[in-house]
């Protein structure tokens, strides 16, 4: 563990062990639903996306099952649509992208704790087996053995790749350039980079549609997360609408969902894109905001839902985060720095 992680763990253990979290739950119950999200559920950093250790997910769900009520996302949306109060101290669990470890690692744990989670699928990745493009780029630069690379995505400059620091710096540059490209151009450039870096990108890391169906039959809900996982705020209106409409069609055809929920990849959105998602026909849209941690009628609506990330850490850290003083302290710090 890094010094920062050790400090966070120590403070969390103090907050929970001293009874601060327990007292907070008693004095300040949450009047609505807290929505939590994760991505990969595995103990590695493949593709430069850290996974949540399965044992830690189990600890987190154990804590939540003792102090909160799990709520299906569809039930939360029913509350908004019927203008009924959202049950207090409720929690909605979600995962983004559609990684296969959601089936192999997370699904058995979700079943053990009877958690009705939702998984948001980058539908093109599920159909093709391709990793979301940011993880493709991460995998390439993690696994390459070449010393340098020169490509349009490095602005035609030969950049060194000899050390982990070099490779991470190059990955950051390439990722930024690719993020501004249209889908077809981005895919072509990633194929070129795969050849230059002499790395084959795996195609067995995403859910299959058969696995989606198995999870759906077991009570897991699904939503759309675009087709190709673009940074949608950077797309043309025509490209953005295609990503939405095509992923909506995939969910309707593959999962039998007339109006699935929608999550913007990487939280990249504009208010115009939110309006577009509503007009396309999605049942809800997420617009995560630091100031909104509990979703409730009168606080937001189903087209401005807010989520909190599941920490890649033991359950005690999630307990301290949700029930401890850390969020309030961060808010005070942000207010202080803004005033200054």
Per-residue pLDDT of the chain (340 residues; tens, 9 = 90+): 788 889 989 999 999 999 999 999 999 999 999 999 999 999 999 999 999 999 999 999 999 999 999 999 999 999 999 999 999 999 999 999 999 999 999 999 999 999 999 999 999 999 999 999 999 999 999 999 999 999 999 999 999 999 999 999 999 999 999 999 999 999 999 999 999 999 999 999 999 999 999 999 999 999 999 999 999 999 999 999 999 999 999 999 999 999 999 999 999 999 999 999 999 999 999 997 778 899 999 999 999 999 999 999 999 999 999 999 887 777 666 666 655 5
CA separation for the pair 219, 14 (Å, rounded):
37
Per-residue confidence (pLDDT) for residue 328, from 0 to 100: 73
CB half-sphere exposure, 333, CA atoms < 13 A: 7
Per-residue confidence (pLDDT) for residue 336, from 0 to 100: 64
Phi-psi region of 48 (alpha: psi -120 to 50; beta: other; left: phi over 0): left
pTM for this predicted structure: 0.95
Q: Are 124 and 245 in contact (CB under 8 A)?
A: no
CATH code for the structural domain at 31-129+206-309: 3.20.20.370
From residue 321, alpha-carbon distances to 81, 289, 294, 308 in Å are: 30, 16, 13, 10
| Residue 188 in tokens | 């072509």
CA separation for the pair 177, 300 (Å, rounded):
35
CA separation for the pair 38, 57 (Å, rounded):
10
CA separation for the pair 318, 314 (Å, rounded):
7
Per-residue confidence (pLDDT) for residue 193, from 0 to 100: 98
Per-residue confidence (pLDDT) for residue 4, from 0 to 100: 86
Per-residue confidence (pLDDT) for residue 338, from 0 to 100: 59
């Amino acid at each position: 563990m890094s010094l920062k992680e050790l400090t966070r763990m120590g403070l969390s253990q103090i907050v929970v062990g001293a009874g601060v979290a327990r007292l907070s739950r008693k004095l300040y119950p949450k009047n609505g639903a807290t929505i939590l999200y994760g991505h990969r559920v595995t103990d590695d950093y493949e593709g430069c996306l850290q996974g949540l250790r399965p044992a830690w997910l189990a600890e987190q769900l154990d804590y939540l099952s003792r102090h909160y009520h799990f709520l299906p996302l569809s039930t939360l949306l029913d509350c908004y649509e019927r203008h009924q109060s959202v049950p207090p101290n409720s929690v909605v669990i979600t995962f983004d992208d559609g990684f296969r470890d959601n089936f192999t690692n997370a699904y058995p744990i979700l079943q053990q704790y009877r958690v009705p989670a939702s998984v948001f699928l980058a539908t093109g990745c599920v159909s093709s087996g391709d990793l979301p493009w940011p993880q493709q780029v991460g995998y390439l630069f993690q696994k390459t053995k070449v010393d340098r690379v020169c490509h349009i995505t490095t602005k035609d400059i030969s950049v060194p790749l000899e050390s982990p620091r070099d490779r991470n710096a190059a990955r950051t540059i390439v990722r930024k350039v690719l993020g501004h490209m249209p889908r077809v151009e981005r895919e072509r450039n990633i194929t070129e980079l795969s050849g230059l870096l002499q790395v084959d990108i795996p195609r067995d890391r995403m859910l299959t549609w058969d696995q989606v169906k198995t999870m759906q039959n077991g009570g897991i809900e699904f939503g759309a997360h675009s087709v190709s996982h673009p940074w949608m705020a950077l797309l043309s209106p025509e490209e953005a609408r295609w990503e939405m409409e095509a992923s909506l069609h995939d969910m309707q055809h593959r999962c039998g969902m007339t109006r699935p929920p929608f999550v913007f990849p990487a939280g990249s959105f504009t208010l115009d894109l939110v309006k577009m998602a509503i007009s396309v026909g999605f049942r809800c849209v997420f617009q995560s905001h630091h100031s909104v941690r509990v979703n409730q009628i009168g606080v937001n609506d189903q087209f401005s839902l807010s989520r909190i990330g599941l920490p890649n850490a033991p359950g005690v850290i999630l307990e301290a985060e949700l029930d401890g003083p850390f969020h309030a302290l961060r808010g005070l710090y942000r207010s202080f720095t803004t005033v200054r």
